[in-house]
Amino acid sequence: MKTTILSFALMLILSIFVSTLLPAQGTLKGTVIDSLTEEPVPFANVYVKYGDNLIGAQTALDGSFTIKPIPSGTYNLYVSFVGYGDKIITDIAIKNDKITFQNNIALTYGTDLPPVVIAGEKALVDPEEVSGQTLDNLVLRSIPDNSNINKIAAISGSDIQVSDDDSEIYFRGSRSGDALYIIDGMRMINPQAFCPGLAIGNMTVYTGGVPAKYGDFTGGVIVIETQSYFDWLAQQESERLRNGGN
């Protein structure tokens, strides 16, 4: 009896410990339809890859699906159903506590069709984000100088200014020090020391109408989610698919 209780307690402690190590998580919703009739396709398989693991679901009778929880990052969505050609939607951004939609994914009837690869749409639903501008990893990679967090944030709006040495950022004429940095849920005073620009998975910059969970600020809030190893793998796979699978 004591052994059973100890084993259960150990499992409980371990599960709590592991849960604290899990990255931020989001949700992917969408619908799958027939490309010819535009009717829903029920029982289709939809999934994303997180390392060696598959996170997925089947579509309902109305063709809808919900995949959760998905650790935040950039993914490829794989869609398949018996009798239809497979479809792969690349570069879908999943973000912490947000819903990403991929509606009306059209499958074409024909088992001998090659997989269709298309770019994903990153439509997010978040009623709090009335003033938030999000830069995903695809945008960040296209910025010539993406080594400094303040300089990256300044790209998101003309009302953001950076000091000559890039160490201070000013929102709409706010004073120095009025910016709040949050990296993977942790508040930071000097983010450059903990998160170089190349490690950013996505960045959301609030210049006004800041969500209540971040408090009341006269300046702005910079929310950063770092890029994981699995995000990097997904990027490499996306590049490979865009290059014809080579």
pLDDT tens-digit series, residues 111-162: 656 666 666 554 444 544 445 677 777 777 777 777 778 888 887 776 788 8
CA distance 161 to 174: 10
For residues 204 and 133, the answer to whether their CB atoms sit within 8 Å is: yes
pLDDT tens-digit series, residues 227-238: 776 776 776 777
| H-helix segments, 22-158 | 137-142, 149-154
Give the angle subtended at the CA of 81 by the CAs of 77 and 87, to the nearest 5°: 35
Residue 160 β-bridge partners: 171
For residues 209 and 221, the answer to whether their CB atoms sit within 8 Å is: no
| Predicted TM-score of the model (pTM) | 0.50
* Residue 64: predicted pLDDT: 93
Please, what sign has the CA dihedral across residues 129, 196, 173, 177?
A: positive
Higher per-residue confidence, 55 vs 1:
55
What tokens were used for 144? 């010539």
Distances (CA, A) of 87 to 28, 75, 84, 102: 16, 14, 9, 13
All domains in the chain, ordered by first residue: 2-126 (2.60.40.1120), 132-227 (2.170.130.10)
pLDDT tens-digit series, residues 166-218: 778 887 766 666 778 888 778 876 666 567 666 787 888 887 666 666 665 66
